[in-house]
Structures are given as C-alpha cells and as structure tokens.
Homo-oligomer: A and B are copies of this chain.
Amino acid sequence: MTTIDSLGEFGLIHKLSQLVPAPRHPDTVRGIGDDAAVIDTAGDEYLLVSTDMLLEGIHFDLMYMPLQHLGFKAVAVNVSDMAAMNGLPAQLTVSIGLSSRFTVEAVEEIYQGIAAACEAYNVDLVGGDTTASRTGLTISITVLGRVPKDRITYRSTAQPNDVICVTGDLGAAYLGLQLLEREKQVYLADPSMQPNLEEKAYLVQRQLRPDARTDIVHELRDLDIKPTAMIDISDGLASEILHLCTQSKTGAVIFDDTIPIDDQTYLTADEFKISPVTAALNGGEDYELLFTIQPQAFEKLKNHARITAIGYMTADPSQVVLATRAGQQTPIKAQGWKHF
C-alpha cells in the first residue's frame, strides 16, 4: 500500500498517466501533458480542451472567498489554460456539487460570478451538472477553446537562447492568501475585529479574483510574435519553468532581479518575513503566462509594459538556475502545491 502523500501530486499524475491507453482517434493531436488537449476538427483551427476541479477546503475557503469571486475564478483558471496554448476560450461546462447548507441564493451568487466571467472572456456556458454533495462545495469546469493551427504553442518547443518572458507580476496571489489567512485567524480569535485590507487590495484581488491573460494572446497575434513555448503560472514560476525545460529538453537561466514583483508584494513579503522572490517562485495562483520567444523577436517586446524578460533558455537540461547579477547560481526546484 502506497500513500498518495509519499508519491506527491506530480508523482501520482506521472504514475496514472502510464495507465492511460495511447490515443486511437486520428483527430486527437495531443492528449495529456500540456495545458490543454488538442483536437483536430478539420478547418484552420484546433479545438482545445482543458478541465479543472476546485474543492472547498483545498482550493478555497468560503470564510473569505466571496461566492461570486469563486465562480469567476473557477472560469478564469480554465480560460488561463487556453491562453497558455496561445488560444481563446469559446464554450464551457460547469458541474457543481453542493451540500444542503448552501441556499439557492448562494448557488445563484456562484452562477453570477460564472456568468460575469463568461462575459469577460467571451465564453458560452453550454452545459453542466448540478448535484448534491455530502460535504462542501465542488466546482468542476471544462473549457473548449480554439487556436489557429499555425499559432498553437506547446510547452515542448523552446530552443536554447530563446528569451524567457513573463506577463504581469508574480507572487501577489500567494501573499494575498497569507493576508486572508492571517485575518481569518484574527477574526476567529475575536469576531468583533473587522479586517482592514484596503491598502492590500491588489494582493487580495489577485488571490480572490485572478484574471486570465487572454489580452496577451491578442497582443502577440497583433505583434505577429509566436512564442516558441508557453505555459500558465498556476503553481509558481519554479514549477512552470521546470515544465518548459523538461518538455523542451533545455536548461534555463533566470535572473532573480528581473522577476516582476509588485510593490505591495515586496512590502507584504517583508511583513511576513518571506523573500519576495520565493513568493514568485513557489507561491502559485498568479495565472500569468510564462513563454519563450526567439532572440530576434525580443526587439518588438522589449518596451512592453506588461511583459518582462527574465532570462534565457540554455542547451543543458540539467541546469535550470536562478542567477544573481554577481554571477551566483542556484538550482531551481519545483515545490508546487502539496494538498495531500
């Protein structure tokens, strides 16, 4: 008997993937192993499929997660997988499991958040399943997207010397979570204490209502830049750069002083005595895009306000390192989430 804990989430997924029979349908272009599966439905576009399940007590805490935000976030994290393939979402299905402690009004709030996200990302809600649950709330979403065949971007196609870019800033969602957890403990100890998170609004919003970077998909198209590889940052920069390197069979150098980090993240990391770079590397839930481009394409992006170059790919797959300007290098290790 093997505990799941002893294998870890990635170990378990690896073991299960070995039980999956090889695809037999000729239209299955790519199965497990990227941000989305890729299906050829004829025509100029591929169909993308991705699914995510959010469980109460694991992925969210209803003590501080408003139900509308939860509905929005459940959609956004799936849409983010479409963006990571350089595609856009089109349809989604939503399954919800609810225990009897939820009222009809509560379920309506979740759906209002889902509807708001469908509006924001231009997705049609086309199906789902609503069922009772013994305990807690479960939301499972599957999103279908489209990407022009000549624009699809996998994790496995980066080359040495490609520039590594990241959108937005990192680590904020993780510090938002730390703040919310701290306020929860304060509240539990003394329910008359009202949290004051106004000065930390950005961090809290990044945790509770993350945005998927479909805007970047449009912009890269307009700039006529096709990334050589891409992934979304759901588990932290460390874990994602390792995925890109493993699948592309490359190494990487990331410069610690180039990682984009918001001022609120810096200040709050200091409060919590956490290194802001560690929050960016291992925090997770930023839902930004991490991608690589050919060196000659970088000219077009170098003044982009929301895209930052943070390093470059190398030829040696055994060297995925964080470098200081002084030249010191430390190996990057995946931490990811440990829920089990």
Contact = CB atoms under 8 A, between A and B. Distances in A.
Interface of A: 1-5, 7, 9, 12-13, 15-16, 19-21, 23-25, 27-28, 30-32, 36-37, 39, 41-43, 47, 49-53, 55-59, 90-91, 93, 95-98, 100, 102-105, 107-108, 111-112, 115, 118-119, 122, 124-136, 138, 140, 142, 144, 339-340
Contacts of A142: 49, 51, 93, 142
Contact of A58 (B30, B115, B131, B340): B131
Nearest to A50: B127
A32 to B, nearest CB: 6
B129 A52 contact: yes
Given A5-B100, A142-B51, A130 B23 contact: no
Interface centre among A27, A41, A102, A105 (most CB of B within 10 A): A41
Given A1-B105, A9-B131, 6 more contacts: A16-B107, A20-B115, A24-B124, A32-B125, A39-B90, A93-B142
Contacts of A122: 24-25
Given A4-B103, A103-B4, A58 B132 contact: yes
For the residues of A in contact with B, the DSSP-based class is mixed
Given A3-B100, A19-B112, A132-B340, A95 B140 contact: yes
A125 B31 contact: yes
Contact of A131 (B28, B130, B339): B339
B134 A55 contact: yes
Given A127-B51, A140-B53, A140-B95, A104 B134 contact: no
Contacts of A25: 90-91, 122, 124
B127 A53 contact: no
A131 B53 contact: yes
B12 A129 contact: no
Contacts of A107: 4, 12, 16
Nearest to A9: B130
